[in-house]
Amino acid sequence: GNACASAGPALLFVKTSRVGEQGRRFYACSACRDRKDCSFFQWEDEKVSETRLAAREEYNRNRQPSFTHRQNVERLKNFVVLPLSQRKFCQDCQQLLLPSEWQEHSGHQFQCDISTAQLKAPSQLLYPLENKKTNAQYLFANRSCQFLLDLIIALGFRRVLSVGTPRLHEMIQSKASQDEDFSVRSLLLDIDFRYSQFYAEDEFCHYNMFNHYFFGGEAAHETCQQFLYQNTGERVIMVTDPPFGGLVEALASSFKKLMAMWRETEKEGDNNQEMPVFWIFPYFFESRILEFFPSFSMMDYQVDYDNHALYKHGKTGRRQSPVRIFTNITPRMIVLPIEEGYRFCTICQRYVSSGNQHCEICNSCTSKDGRRWKHCALCNKCVKPSWFHCDKCNCCALQDHSCERTNAGCFVCGKAGHKRSTCPRLSLA
Interface with ligand SAH by CB under 6 A: which residues?
31, 134-135, 137-140, 164-168, 190-192, 207-210, 241-243
Between 102 and 292, whose beta carbon lies closer to Zn ion? 102
The CA distance from 179 to 245, in Å, is 37
Name the minimum Å distance from CB 385 to Zn ion.
12
Q: Distance of CA 293 to CAs 23, 114, 298, Å?
A: 27, 43, 11
What DSSP character marks residue 158? Answer: E
The DSSP letter of residue 276 is -
Binning the chain into helix, strand and coil, the percentages to the nearest 5 are 30, 20, 50
With CB under 5 to 8 Å by kind, the binding choice for 165 among Zn ion, ligand SAH, none is: ligand SAH
Which DSSP state fits 338? G
Q: Which is nearer to ligand SAH, 171 or 228 (CB)?
A: 171
55 sits near Zn ion (criterion: CB under 5 A): no
Q: Would you say 281 and 302 are in contact if contact means Cβ atoms under 8 Å apart?
A: no
359 contact choice in Zn ion, ligand SAH, none (CB below 5 to 8 Å, kind-dependent): Zn ion
Q: How far is the CB of 93 from Zn ion (least distance, A)?
A: 3
Please say which residue, 73 or 323, places its beta carbon nearer to ligand SAH: 323
- Rounded to the nearest angstrom, the gap between the alpha carbon of residue 291 and the centroid of all alpha carbons in its chain is 18
Q: DSSP string of 352-374?
A: E-TT-PEETTTTEE--SSSSPPE
Q: Which does 379 bind (CB under 5 to 8 A by kind): Zn ion, ligand SAH, none?
A: Zn ion
To the nearest whole angstrom, how small is the minimum distance from the Cβ of residue 157 to Zn ion?
Answer: 27
List alpha helices for 64-183, DSSP H.
Answer: 69-80, 116-119, 122-125, 142-154, 166-178
Quick note: the x/- pattern for Zn ion over 355-374, rule CB under 5 A, is: ---xx-xx--x---------
Report in angstroms how near the CB of residue 261 gets to ligand SAH at its nearest.
16
Closest approach, Cβ 346 to Zn ion, in A, equals: 8
Minimal CB distance to ligand SAH: which residue? 164
Helix or strand holding residue 256 (H, E): helix 248-265
Task: Scan residues 70-109 and list those touching Zn ion (CB under 5 A).
Answer: 90, 92-93, 105, 108
314-317, long-range: CB < 8 A, 24+ apart: 314/370, 314/371, 314/428
CB of 12 to ligand SAH, least distance (A): 16
Distance, in Å, from the CA atom of 383 to the CA atom of 360, rounded to the nearest integer, reads 14
CB nearer to ligand SAH: pick between 72 and 137: 137
Selected from 299, 396, 426, 428, the binder of Zn ion by CB under 5 A is 396
Residue with smaller CB distance to ligand SAH, 258 or 382: 258
| Minimum CB–partner distance for residue 99 and ligand SAH (Å) | 29
CB 89 within 8 A of CB 122: no
E-strand ranges in 18-139 read 24-28, 41-43, 88-90, 95-97, 110-111
Task: Write out the residues near Zn ion by the rule CB under 5 A.
Answer: 90, 92-93, 105, 108, 345, 347-348, 358-359, 361-362, 365, 375-376, 378-379, 382, 389, 396
